Structure 1
Amino acid sequence: MQYVQLRAVQAVATHGGFSAAASALGLTQPAISDQIRRLERDYGCMLFHRRGRTVEPTEFGRRLLAAIRPIFEAERQAAALLSQAAALESGTLSMISDAPDLAVSLIAAFRTRHPAIGIHLAIGNAETCLERLHAASADVAVTAAAAIDARLHAQTLREDPLIALVHGCSALVGRKSVSFAMLAEQGLIFRESHSATQRLLAGELQRHAISCTPTLTVDGREAMVEAVAAGLGVGVIAASEYGGRHGISTMPISDCRVRMTISLLAPRDQAASRLIGELFTVARTLPPSASQRAR
């Protein structure tokens, strides 16, 4: 018993004849007749009464049709589901990000075009973003982590300078800019070692040969902002990541050469899918950040 034989049985019963069934399936009438003849021969049964041009299922044929009906109903449902996916009318997307503001902006732009797609957003640092991608527990990531792995497809979303955060009563307030040496003298607050911001800061301190013991090490940008507001030291953050806080001043860092690059990442073997490919297409429509427009 083969699927094509069962499909022939279902088509003949549905369309009321061999010629009509052949036309519906895009086959020849002899091919349909041969498939049914082989099925009847192999199992020693009769599936249809043939009375001239009239074809009707036998009692056994009706029982077989009832048995195979769920197969073709499942096929119909699968085809409908696949058609919805092709049209992006259904589906889900799992995203992780260490840049929530940009991730939410991307999701909003995507949902404007495809409101039926469900999206789950998780927040983590750069290392967690990469770990989730490689573990296939996230479909895409919006992150400052560098796409150094050839298995990942990357698209740059934003590039921002690093800025300094200082307490409103700091002696640095009022200056047009500060240097890394000045920040080190005031006492720097470090982020966790896996933070992309911290890695950029550490690289700049090394480039300037500045040895610095942090006044405090915190997990997450929110904790760093609160520590600066409490007067525990100065911090460094990407310009677009800082939303403002009473009692804190921001300043350009005059000798900073690096920029924070936020990218959309996805496994290369998934980036070609229609859903994720459309997300990358929408990402290209996002407006540049203020710092990018100023470049």
Structure 2
Amino acid sequence: MELLQLQYFIAVARLEHMTEAARSLHVTQSSLSKTIQRLEEDLGVLLFDRTGRKLRLNEYGSRFLPRAEKALFELEQGKQELSDLASRAQGTLELAVNTASTLPQILRKFRQLQPAIHFHVQMLNTQEMVTALHRGEVDFCLSSPPVEGEDIASRIVCIDPILLAVPKGHRLARRDRVTLDELREEWFIAVKKGYGTRDLVDAVCGAAGFVPDYVYEGDEPARIITLVEAGIGIAFIPGTARDSRDTVKYLRVDNSELVREIALLWNKSRYLSRAALEFRQLVFAHFLENTFA
């Protein structure tokens, strides 16, 4: 059994499509197909059910996949550990977030401390982050809500109140506080379902007896305030995401449940380089030094 066979098998198993897997691996479809066939011959079983060009993991493949992922994960951890021991002040820090409002300040501080370390950030929903953590594809996640798991370490770093953003000239713009009951007939702007703040808002409003009327649902949180400013609707915004523009007014909402917890997550089994450990300490210090309420 070869390392390349495992890498190719994992790619095909995750996509369940030979053409897409070949494209993602930058190899020909025929080379990929032959490599998978050799792996199946080595194992003595078929790993996929094939219907035309479609593939689906069968029982053998489903049982083999987590072991193959774990094997590659451990090899990658060993590579990172040796690189760290060799004192190479370079590399890439892999991050995933479903809440990005505090990230620019954190990354700016980290770049000042570790200018040679590159970082790569993905904006994912909560389930996508959990998957990336389990696969060992990221060093850390900033998540709201926190995620619990046997192999996931979670530390709450911030308690962040949810505010209501309204455009200048809105009927509530002269107010400092508002109740949920006053918002039943409003039009709302939000990120799509699956993001922590959206799911929290939907649950709290549902408990209050209404479903927000969304006129815009997107996957770019930064665009929401721009749409509020344009008068398209109003929005629930985390306190850490508010800005100083005078065309938008932020109101407190009289509901103690409209508060989100932000947590730093990491895989307990993933090797953390010295740069990663320094990043984690920087995140803890950043939230201790700043009050976002």
Give the TM-score, by structure 1 length.
Answer: 0.62
What root-mean-square deviation, in Å, do the aligned CA atoms of Structure 1 and Structure 2 show? 2.7
* Identity, % of aligned positions: 19
Structure 1 residues 229 and 177: alpha-carbon distance in aligned structure 2, compared to 1, 3 A threshold: same
1: CA distance, partners of 2:276 / 2:106: 12
Partner of 1:10: none
Q: Deviations over 1:68-92 (max 9, x none)?
A: xxxxxxxxxxxxx947546563332
Partner of 1:110: 110
Aligned 8 A contact 1:93 1:120 in 2: yes
Partner of 1:267: 267
Q: CA deviation at 1:237?
A: 1.0
Q: CA deviation at 1:138?
A: 2.1
Structure 1 residues 150 and 112: alpha-carbon distance in aligned structure 2, compared to 1, 3 A threshold: same
Partner of 1:206: 206
Q: Deviations over 1:14-38 (max 9, x none)?
A: xxxxxxxxxxxxxxxxxxxxxxxxx
Aligned 8 A contact 1:186 1:233 in 2: yes
Structure 1 residues 211 and 107: alpha-carbon distance in aligned structure 2, compared to 1, 3 A threshold: closer
Partner of 1:289: 290
Partner of 2:194: 194
Aligned 8 A contact 1:201 1:236 in 2: yes
Counterpart AA for 1:99: T
2: CA distance, partners of 1:271 / 1:157: 22
Q: Unaligned 5+ residue runs, structure 2?
A: 1-80
Aligned 8 A contact 2:98 2:195 in 1: no
User: In the comparison of the two structures, how many residue pairs are matched?
Assistant: 212
Aligned 8 A contact 1:88 1:117 in 2: no
Q: CA deviation at 1:223?
A: 3.0
Q: CA deviation at 1:131?
A: 3.3
Partner of 1:76: none
1: CA distance, partners of 2:279 / 2:85: 14
Q: CA deviation at 1:230?
A: 2.5
Structure 1 residues 84 and 213: alpha-carbon distance in aligned structure 2, compared to 1, 3 A threshold: closer
Structure 1 residues 153 and 276: alpha-carbon distance in aligned structure 2, compared to 1, 3 A threshold: farther
Partner of 2:40: none
Partner of 2:225: 225
Structure 1 residues 216 and 240: alpha-carbon distance in aligned structure 2, compared to 1, 3 A threshold: same
Aligned 8 A contact 2:202 2:212 in 1: no
Q: CA deviation at 1:164?
A: 0.2
Q: CA deviation at 1:121?
A: 2.3
Structure 1 residues 255 and 87: alpha-carbon distance in aligned structure 2, compared to 1, 3 A threshold: same
Structure 1 residues 136 and 82: alpha-carbon distance in aligned structure 2, compared to 1, 3 A threshold: closer
Give the TM-score, by structure 2 length.
Answer: 0.63
Q: Deviations over 1:177-223 (max 9, x none)?
A: 01112122222334201111111101211222224432333333233
